[in-house]
Amino acid sequence: MNSTSGNTIDFDSARLKIKSAGAQASKSVHSSASPSVSQLQQSLSQLLQTSLEMDRILGLFFATLQQALELNSLEYRHDAKQLQFDFGSPALHRCSYRLTHLGDFLGELRFSRSKRFSEAQLKGLESLLGSLLYPLRNALLYHEAIACALNDPLTGCGNRLALDQALDREIKHAIRKRTDLSMMVIDIDHFKTINDTYGHAFGDEALKAMVSACEGCLRAVDGLFRLGGEEFVVLLSDTSLVDARMVAERIRNAIAEMQFQLDGQPIPLTVSIGVARRRNDESQQALYERCDQQMYKAKRGGRNQVIAEG
Ligand SMILES: Nc1nc2c(ncn2[C@@H]2O[C@H](COP(=O)(O)OP(=O)(O)OP(=O)(O)O)[C@@H](O)[C@H]2O)c(=O)[nH]1
């Protein structure tokens, strides 16, 4: 066996084959002390029913396979869904499987170990992959449903529900760790005029461009949420008012400088931003309202500006 091998498993056409391979490989795939493939299949069928979370399902699958195959690592990739989970540390000998079911791509799994995989071990592994099929497919569907429920379909950023959840989590974190939590409310200036002048579709493009300009100014841990229309919220954990104001200025500037064009014509796009740092015992709603008030002050002050309040 080479140090790397790749396979495609179409679960639908392979199901019968896998069943019979499972029967043949039902003896131990490792040593007489290890559980047999059918014992592992049995425990997997119970274990993998206990969660719909991708990382939990794959973690349980990896831990179970480790009992029999001395695996060093498992990597899962689904590039189109931007999913990636890694368990253990990669070793020299690898094998990988592209999993499909009824034409749907379910992701790619890469296993590694420091010893070569024997043919019997690969057969056993392939049998056990059959136990992953439905749990993995269900976890992917669950992941998609959650993503739809929490994301704004136009811009891809979190929606109001996602903001509520993140804010709840961040406030608890700030209280526990005694750290600052700052918030920004961002509103595009004269967006109605942009829509009325250039059309709704162009307005949509402006929203998407504005989101990517914002994302370019934020850390991966910062949350950007669309509350509806042209209003957005940014949550900055562990961030003082001074630092939050600096980030807000960076965003304001990035959007004002953005080369946004229609038919080669530059279209000016600016935002007004309100910033606030959470006060002791301040509720989610009170923090948001105070931040929103700062944003309205920025509008009244002439737009394309940042107003911050501690
Ligand atoms: N293209 C597009 N427009 C939207 C969307 N959601 C809301 N809008 C429009 O956003 C505009 C918001 O306008 P207003 O609330 O009057 O605010 P504004 O024109 O930005 O004025 P100021 O906020 O005072 O600077 C309205 O014309 C809405 O129709 C959307 O998803 N796409």
Final residue before a domain boundary, out of 150, 168, 189:
150
State whether 138 and 12 are in the same domain: yes
Asked whether residue 203 is domain-assigned, the answer is: yes
State whether 16 and 81 are in the same domain: yes
State whether 25 and 125 are in the same domain: yes
Q: d(Cα 194, Cα 66) in Å, to the nearest integer?
A: 58
Q: d(Cα 95, Cα 106) in Å, to the nearest integer?
A: 17
Residues 211/157, Cβ–Cβ less than 8 Å: yes
State whether 181 and 291 are in the same domain: yes
State whether 89 and 169 are in the same domain: no
Whole-prediction pTM = 0.72
Which pLDDT belongs to residue 147? 87
Asked whether residue 299 is domain-assigned, the answer is: yes
Q: Whose CA is nearest to atom 14 of ligand 1?
A: 192
Q: Whose CA is nearest to atom 12 of ligand 1?
A: 192
Residues 157/226, Cβ–Cβ less than 8 Å: yes
State whether 171 and 52 are in the same domain: no
State whether 40 and 173 are in the same domain: no
Asked whether residue 170 is domain-assigned, the answer is: yes
Final residue before a domain boundary, out of 86, 121, 150:
150
Which pLDDT belongs to residue 266? 86
CA–centroid distance, residue 241 to ligand 1 (Å)? 28
Residues 275/242, Cβ–Cβ less than 8 Å: no
Asked whether residue 230 is domain-assigned, the answer is: yes
Asked whether residue 173 is domain-assigned, the answer is: yes
Which pLDDT belongs to residue 33? 60
CATH number reported for the structural domain that contains residue 90 in this entry: 3.30.450
CATH number reported for the structural domain that contains residue 185 in this entry: 3.30.70.270
Q: What is the dihedral of CA 211, 217, 221, 223, to 10 degrees?
A: -30
* Tens-binned pLDDT, residue by residue, of the chain (310 aa): 446 667 777 665 544 344 434 444 445 455 556 778 888 999 998 999 999 999 999 999 999 998 888 999 999 999 999 899 999 999 999 999 999 988 899 999 999 999 999 999 999 999 999 999 999 999 999 999 998 999 999 999 999 999 999 999 999 999 999 999 999 999 999 999 999 999 999 999 999 999 999 999 999 889 999 999 999 999 999 999 999 999 999 999 999 999 888 888 888 999 999 999 999 999 999 999 999 999 999 999 999 999 998 7
State whether 166 and 270 are in the same domain: yes
State whether 143 and 166 are in the same domain: no
Residue 283 CB neighbour total at 10 angstroms? 11
Number of the ligand 1 atom closest to the C-alpha atom of 200? 1
Residues 106/100, Cβ–Cβ less than 8 Å: yes
Which pLDDT belongs to residue 16? 38
282 lies in which domain range? 160-309
CA–centroid distance, residue 102 to ligand 1 (Å)? 43
Tokens encoding 55? 């990382």
Final residue before a domain boundary, out of 150, 176, 191:
150
List 75, 126, 170, 230, catalytic entry: 230
Is the reported ipTM for this assembly greater than 0.90? yes
Residues 226/152, Cβ–Cβ less than 8 Å: yes
Asked whether residue 132 is domain-assigned, the answer is: yes
Collect all residues with Cβ–Cβ distance below 8 Å to 101 and sequence separation of at least 6: 10, 11, 12, 133, 137
The answer to whether residue 230 is catalytic is yes
State whether 141 and 221 are in the same domain: no
Please give the single-letter amino acid code of residue 49: Q
State whether 128 and 171 are in the same domain: no
Please name the residue ranges forming H helices in 71-199.
Answer: 119-150, 160-177, 191-198
Asked whether residue 80 is domain-assigned, the answer is: yes
| Structural domains of the chain, count | 2
State whether 12 and 124 are in the same domain: yes
Asked whether residue 155 is domain-assigned, the answer is: no
Collect all residues with Cβ–Cβ distance below 8 Å to 118 and sequence separation of at least 6: 1
Q: Whose CA is nearest to atom 1 of ligand 1?
A: 203
